[in-house]
Amino acid sequence: MPEISGLKFHQLTPERWVDLEKLFGQHGATGGCWCMWWRLPRSEFMQQRGEGNKKAFKKIIDSGKVPGILAYVEGQPVGWCAVAPRETFPKLGRSRILKRVDGKPVWSVVCFSLPKSRDAKGSARDC
């Protein structure tokens, strides 16, 4: 992948919501996910896919929680990373494959997204 210089990172706050919308596009990154896949039971995720997930994610951000970080180059959003305490992502707790190995508190990265224009292969990398 080509080197990207001048990267800056900022927490996703309500003031930066517009930047996330710009990065994720009209359909919310991966087909309406809006970074809710790891936060909801599958049936609820599918039921509110798209606009419902967008509203749910916006509600998290508006509550003052910081669900991850945005990457910027020259003031433009170029990447997203969902990183938070493991308990933030209930689906991890229900996974047989991703189950806890001990009782220690850890943080998890569950989504890493780049727009197509930033990926060397020409396709977005998402959750």
Assess if residue 126 is contained within a domain: no
Assess if residue 125 is contained within a domain: no
Global pTM reads 0.84
Assess if residue 32 is contained within a domain: yes
Assess if residue 123 is contained within a domain: no
- Going by C-alpha positions, the residue among 88, 75, 70 that lies closest to residue 20 is 70
CATH number at residue 70: 3.40.630
Give the whole-angstrom CA distance, residue 119 versus residue 50: 24
Instruction: Spell out the per-residue pLDDT of the chain, length 127, in tens.
Output: 456 678 999 999 999 999 999 999 888 887 889 999 999 999 999 999 999 999 999 999 999 999 999 999 999 999 999 999 999 999 998 898 998 889 899 999 999 888 766 444 443 445 5
Give the whole-angstrom CA distance, residue 111 versus residue 20: 13
Q: How many domains does the chain have?
A: 1
Range of the domain at 58: 7-118
pLDDT computed for residue 125 by the predictor: 46
